[in-house]
Amino acid sequence: MRVCWILIFLSYACAASVLFPLTSIVRMPENDKAVIESARVNGNFAYSTMEGHAYKTITPLVGQILKLGPLVPVNYVHVQ
pLDDT digits (tens, 9 = 90+) for 39-76: 887 878 888 888 888 888 887 776 666 666 666 666 67
Rounded-to-integer distance, Cα 31 and Cα 51, Å: 11
CA angle 41, 47, 51 (to 5 degrees): 145
Q: Determine the structural domain holding residue 14 and report its residue range.
A: 1-58
- Backbone φ, ψ for residue 6 (5° rounding): -65, -45
Under a CB-based contact definition with an 8 Å cutoff, are residues 42 and 60 in contact?
A: no
Total count of domains within the chain: 1
Is residue 22 one of the residues assigned to a domain? yes
Q: Which residues contact 25 (CB under 8 A, 6 or more apart)?
A: 55, 56, 57, 58
Q: Tell me whether residue 49 is in a domain.
A: yes
The predicted model scores a pTM of 0.39
Q: Is 77 inside a domain boundary?
A: no
Decide if 80 is inside a domain.
Answer: no
